Every structure is written in C-alpha cells, then in structure tokens.
Chain A
Amino acid sequence: MSEFALETRNQLVGLFGIVERNVYLTKRYFLWDIAFMVWTIANTLTIVFIARAAHVPPAKENTLATILLVGATIWAFLGIIFEFMTETVAWERWEGTIEYTFMAPLSRLVHLFGQGAFAVLYGLIRATILFFAVAAFIGIHTPNANYSAALALLALASVSFIGVGIMTSVLPLISPEKGAQLGFVCQGVMLVVSGVYYPVSVMPEWMQWIAKISPATYALRGCRNSIVYGTGLVWADVWPLLIIAVLATPIGLAIFRVGERHAKRHGKLKRAG
C-alpha cells in the first residue's frame, strides 16, 4: 500500500472511530436524550401554537403553523450541530480525554468532520421526529410537501453548518469556562438574521445584508418553500449554499488551528473549565 493510501485508510478508520464513539455515548445517555427530546417538542409547541392564536382562516393558520414548525425544527437541528461541535473540546476536556485525542495521529479536519458527520445524522433523526410529532399533535397538513427536496437542501446546508460549527468549537479552547456557551450565542444570532420564523425582508437592511452570508437563510427559505408550497430544489437557494459550503470548512479549520496553537502555547488544552 502506498504511503498516501495508507494514510487515507488510517484517517478514514479514525473518522469511523469518532462516529462510533458518539454512537456508544448516545446509547449510554439514551434516556437523557428522550428527556431532551420531550423538552424540544414542548418548546416547539409553544412556538407553533402561536398560529392557533392568530385567529386567521384555517388554511392560513395551517400555513403559518407550518412556517413556524419549519423554523423551530431547523433551530433544533442547528442546535444539535452546534452542541456537538462545541462539545468536541468541552466534553473531552470534562472527561479528561482531550490530550489523548489531540496527541493522536488524526488530522484535525477528519477529527472535526467526524464529529460534524455524526451531529448531522443524529440531528436529522431528531429533526424528523420533532417535525412529525408536532405536526401530528397540532394537526398540521402538508399536502404539497416535497420532503426529499427539503432534506436535500438541509444536507447541503449541513456542510456549511459543520464549517461554522468548527469555528465555534474553538471557543472552549480559548475560554474553557464560557466558550461552550458562546457557541449557542452564535447559533441564536445566526438564526435571528436568517429569518427563523419570519421572512428576511421584515428585518432592518443591515441585518438583511448579514442574512446573505448565513447558510441558514437559504436552508430556511428552501425548506419552508418545499414543505409549504412543494417547491423543489431552487437554484437560488442551492448556489449560495454551495459557495458557503466550500468556504466555511477551510475557514473554520484555519480558525480552529489558530485556537489550537494558542491553547498549546498557553497550556489551555488540559485546563478544566
């Protein structure tokens, strides 16, 4: 086997290792996950019930409820990705394994992408359960829904979300105490400017400019249109996501490398927060 082939093989085995570890841990914390799922459903219901309180004709109410549900589902999906990415460092530091992972011959890209890949898979499962559980509870009808287009768009957006997640995963390296929480601040800000429950056009102009570089803007708009109106994949949503996907991961990785060197220079890798 050539050196390149051997190295590629080893990196792929390492990537599998990251996913496998997360599967082990998810199994161990399964009951906690159910409890968290109940909380997510309850939280989403508080948002979707707003449609009922709007006192509009049933068809409009159904559309409004669907729009709110899509927003809340993507919020939950993004929450899982950011949680897993920021925990790349925070969780391992808490367990004390971080030094063993960081001294292993696994490229940082594979390490972080493995974490992101599991987060996307796990997030998609949870988002699907959430969507259909709330839709059934409220009685939302989606006769025109094009779920495959929505799923494809979400998968495409996930590459960008992983890239942005990599950027935030460096925060616990810089601030062991508060870094993980800052990841959730980034998630919230991203969704606010991306029109999570409303069209981007209702925001001030400067926020609309920020919305243009947020992958969530296109994921939300595309998923909403696919589920409510049955629109398929629209190029206007796809091309910005492709560009952001190509840029976000290298930028995220470069930021993470700077953070990792900072932590190694100042001895912050091991420090318990």
Chain B
Amino acid sequence: MSTLAPSTTDLTSRLDRQVPAVEVRDLRKTFRRRDRKAGRFARKRAWPALADVTFTIARGECVAILGQNGSGKSTLVRLLSTLLINDGGEARVFGHDVDREASTIRRLVNRVSVEASFFKKMSASENLSYAARFYGMTPRQTRTAVPEILGQVGFPPERRGESMENLSRGMQQKVALARALLTSPVLLLLDEPTTGLDPRSKLEVQGFIRQVRAEHDATILLCTHDMAEAETLADRVGLLDRGRLLFLEPVEDVKRRFDVETLEQAFFAATGREFVAEEGDSEDDEYREVFG
C-alpha cells in the first residue's frame, strides 16, 4: 500500500510487535429482548450474544470465526471495533482496552461488513474521500490514493463518479474493501465480506484478501459462515456457537481432534447439529434475533 493515512503510519510504527493483535478474555455481551410469543408487553429476557469468549490473535495472523446466523460473530466484531460495550471480561487490540482506549483503537482498526454501507447518492470516490478525512487524509492525498486503491480492488475507473445506488452489490463490496484498506488498518475485521456475492465477485474479494495479507502488515479476523472460505484464507479456524467459542485451531488440528474430514462434520461433532449456512443478511438476522 503506497498511500497511508498519516496518523496510522505513525501509530503503527510504535506498536510493540510482541503484543498480540487481539486478546479477548472471558468476554461477555448480553442483550435483552422480549419473547415474541409472550406478547408486546412481556418482560424482556436476557439473550447472551457472547458468553465467556477467550482467544488471542497474533500480529499478522488471519483467523476465521465460523458460526451460523445469530451465533455472535457480528457482536464480536462490533465489540472489537468499539461499537458495542462489553458486559464483562475484557478485549484488547494491540494491548489497548477496547472501552477505555477506544480512540487509540479506532486508528488501528477498520472493518468490512456484510452490508456495504455508503451514502447512496454519493459516488465511490466521494464516499472514500469522506471516510479518509476521518483518518487525516487531505484532498491532495485522496486525489491519488482513492483511484489507486480502487484500481487495486479492480473497480472500473469510468464508474468512480457514479452514485453508489447504481452499482451492483459486488461492486459496492469492492468499494467497502477499498474504504477499509485506504486507512491502512493494522487490524482488519471482515464480517461476512462475501455473503450475497455472485461466485465471481466472491473469488475476486477472496483474492484481494489474500493479496492484502501478502503485501500489507495487517492482522485479519474473518467472521463467516462459509467454511470453504475460512479453510482457504485462515491460519486458524474457530467455531462460535450460541455465543460460545467451541475451538480455535488450525483446520487440520480441528479435523484430527474430531476425527472428521470436513469442517461441516466438525461442527456436527462439536454441537450435535447440522451447520446451516444461510445466505443473506446475517448481520441483520442477528439483530432481529437480539431485538426481536
């Protein structure tokens, strides 16, 4: 990446390489929701989205967290990106506490979610410039950095000025990846980045994630329900089920541990249930689950 957000470069150079990129210990998050069957005025009951989750990700590592819709993947990503406050336990990003040192973490982290969220009337270039300003990139810097990063994700140059609402889902997701990388994050949180994409766009996005790993000093946490994607991209694979992290190991170790040949079989062995990879907006599904 040739153009970096100035503040991020400075912070990155000061990071202790020995400190894990992510350290999560006994992390808990509970939402309260009404039981749909009990009626509108029923008391809300606790709904654990994350229950005592503990894991560590080393700097430069790519870790995939697998889980069905509503398993807690998006909640985990939101906690690490300072968008939620945990109820218990702790989470640290490069040694910084996600709640108490949120402003430091925000310079180090960026995220791509299942929904490519943009100002729909603004163009790809305008949306990226807007996002880059928050990381201290001036108009002069974005004038070169935006076309460069869009070129890297394979975005057609002639469509840079087109409103986002006119772009396909795959195109929008490429712009979302470009937005995340434009700010040169050292921790990249990918929350179902390929969900809902056609096979070709999916392969392109996956190829770009590989490229980022190869060329960029980034740690990647990939949350997905695509087992093949997790297997091909990640160094270690974890399974989050109903808020609990059942394991986080290299794929071969997982298969050996459960004496199975595929991750689907491992899921069945670990939970006693079939893995149902639902296509669609898992993030919102999770919210619907939580808020009912």
Q: Which of B62-70, B134-142, B260-268 forms contacts with chain A?
A: B134-142
Q: Is the CB of A267 within 8 A of B134?
A: no
| Chain B residues bordering chain A, tally (CB within 8 A) | 42
A25 and B121 contact, CB distance less than 8 A: yes
Closest CB in chain B relative to A24 CB, distance in Å: 5
Q: Is B134 within 8 A of A264, CB to CB?
A: no
Band of interface residues on A: 35 or more
B6 / chain A contacts, CB cutoff of 8 Å = 6, 10
- Shortest C-beta distance, A39 to chain B (Å), equals 21
Interface check A199, CB cutoff 8 A: no
A69-77, A100-108, A166-174 - the one binding chain B = A100-108
Q: Is the CB of A117 closer than 8 A to any CB of chain B? A: no
Which stretch from B34-42, B103-111, B205-213, B224-232 is at the chain A interface? B103-111
Instruction: Give which listed residue, A28, A99, A101, A105, contacts B107 with CB less than 8 A.
Output: A105
CA distance A267 to B48 in the complex (A): 13
Set B10, B110, B122, B133: member contacting A16, Cβ < 8 A: B133
Candidates A28, A95, A271; contact of B118 at CB < 8 Å: A95
Q: Which of A10, A266, A267 contacts B7 (CB 8 A)?
A: A10
Contact A97 B106, beta carbon cutoff 8 Å: no
B247 lies within 8 A of chain A by Cβ: no
Q: Summarize B's interface: helix, strand, loop or mixed.
A: mixed
Q: How far is the CA of A31 from the CA of B28 in the complex (A)?
A: 49
User: Using Cβ atoms and an 8 Å threshold, which residues of chain A touch B45?
Assistant: none
Name B117's contact: one of A13, A24, A95 (CB within 8 Å). A95
Are A14's CB and B136's CB within 8 A? yes
Nearest-CB residue, chain B, relative to A12: B136
Chain B residues with CB under 8 A of A104: 106, 131, 134-135
A17 touches B78 (CB 8 A): no
Select from chain A the residue with minimum beta-carbon distance to B79.
A264
- Answer yes or no: B241 CB below 8 A from chain A CBs: no
- Chain A nearest CB from B9 CB (Å) reads 11
CB distance from A228 to the nearest CB of B (A): 41
Q: Select A13's contact among B103, B118, B121, B136, beta carbons within 8 Å.
A: B136
- Of the candidates B115, B133, B287, the one having the most CB atoms from chain A within 10 angstroms of its own CB is B133
Which residues in window 261-292 of B have CB below 8 A to A?
287, 290-291
Bound-complex Cα distance A212 to B78 (A): 44
Residues of B near any A CB (own CB < 8 A): 6-7, 10, 31-32, 75, 78, 81-85, 103, 106-107, 109-111, 113, 115, 117-122, 126, 129-138, 163, 179, 287, 290-291
CB-defined A-B contacts under 8 Å, sample of 16 = A6-B10, A13-B136, A13-B137, A16-B133, A24-B130, A28-B122, A97-B117, A100-B111, A102-B83, A103-B83, A103-B111, A104-B134, A105-B134, A264-B82, A267-B78, A270-B83
